[in-house]
Amino acid sequence: MTFQRARTDEQRSQRRRQILDTAATMLTEMPVAKLSLNELSRRVGLAKANVLRYFESREAVLLELLDTEIQSWIAELAQAQPSGEGTEQERGDRLADILATSMARRPVLCDLLSAQGSVLEHNISTEVGIRHKYAARRVLQDVVQLVQRHLPELGTEGAVALVETTLLMAMSAWQCSRPSEAMLAAYASDPELASMRVDFTDLVRRTTAVTASGLLARRDDRSAVRGTPE
């Protein structure tokens, strides 16, 4: 294929979109670790050097995809209407279920999140890193606001702590819940070993629910010390 330089902003935007869409499709077929710049270039139909005209590295492509995936996740969370019914713990448990199940439905998001610190944030320029972190900061604020809609008793500080814990657990749990073929065979060989297999949704749900309960209990303890009526 003969390379034709994109000469207008619209053409450059279309070319970037083509690269991102191709990478997104590849991530439905393979994990982040197996997505190479060479294969991405081949599927897009451009030489690797030409792909690098639009993104400085494979990691820069994946970081932008992560930002896109998170925005889509937030849009989904925004559709979940909070229920004012039930105790704080019951509402916290429902919130934990919403967060865990919504993430489990998005394997590409989870795979990108799990690779964020160890892979995606390497081999990039400071400029790309700054742009990504500003986007991540806005995302954190958006998710915190959504959490506060469901469990306002947490307050801003508590909601931030809950979101951070949930995301960090999801990053770790996703890696642990994707066993190799050898480990799948090991689990299948013995029910006692099978019980050790990590269930992503269950682990994230339980961790989020317990964290929410703990944060609410600590708030009550501080209120009691100050003599604030419950």
DSSP string over the chain: -------SHHHHHHHHHHHHHHHHHHHTTS-GGG--HHHHHHHHTS-HHHHTTT-SSHHHHHHHHHHHHHHHHHHHHHTS-----S-HHHHHHHHHHHHHHHHHT-HHHHHHHHTIIIIITSS--HHHHHHHHHHHHHHHHHHHHHHHHH-GGGHHHHHHHHHHHHHHHHHHHHHHTS--HHHHHHHHH-HHHHTTS--HHHHHHHHHHHHHHHHHHHHHHHHHHHT---
What domains, with CATH codes, occur in the chain? Answer: 1-55 (1.10.10.60), 58-226 (1.10.357.10)
What's the rounded mean pLDDT across residues 41-58?
93
What per-residue confidence (pLDDT) applies to 223? Answer: 59
What is the token pair recorded at 24?
Answer: 């997104």
What per-residue confidence (pLDDT) applies to 3? Answer: 47
Taking only the tens place, the pLDDT of each residue in 121-153 is 999 999 999 999 999 999 999 999 999 999 999
What per-residue confidence (pLDDT) applies to 108? Answer: 94
Residues 208 and 167: their CA atoms lie apart, in Å, by 9
Residues 50 and 65: their CA atoms lie apart, in Å, by 19
Longest dimension (CA), the chain: 75
Average pLDDT of the residues of the chain: 90
What per-residue confidence (pLDDT) applies to 45? Answer: 92
What is the token pair recorded at 72?
Answer: 């889509």
What's the rounded mean pLDDT across residues 163-187?
94
Residues 203 and 220: their CA atoms lie apart, in Å, by 26
Count how many residues are written for the chain. Answer: 230
Would you say residue 175 has pLDDT above 80? Answer: yes
Would you say residue 176 has pLDDT above 50? Answer: yes
Residues 91 and 94: their CA atoms lie apart, in Å, by 5
What per-residue confidence (pLDDT) applies to 224? Answer: 59
Would you say residue 208 has pLDDT above 50? Answer: yes
What is the dihedral sign for C-alpha 83, 97, 133, 76? Answer: negative
Kindly report the CA angle at 101 between 98 and 149, in degrees rounded to 5? 15
What's the rounded mean pLDDT across residues 11-40?
92
Taking only the tens place, the pLDDT of each residue in 215-226 is 999 876 665 555
What per-residue confidence (pLDDT) applies to 12? Answer: 82
The residue ranking higher by pLDDT, 21 or 225, is 21
Would you say residue 61 has pLDDT above 60? Answer: yes
What per-residue confidence (pLDDT) applies to 219? Answer: 78
Taking only the tens place, the pLDDT of each residue in 67-94 is 999 999 999 999 988 877 889 999 999 9
Taking only the tens place, the pLDDT of each residue in 89-120 is 999 999 999 999 999 999 999 999 999 999 99
Would you say residue 227 has pLDDT above 70? Answer: no
What per-residue confidence (pLDDT) applies to 2? Answer: 47
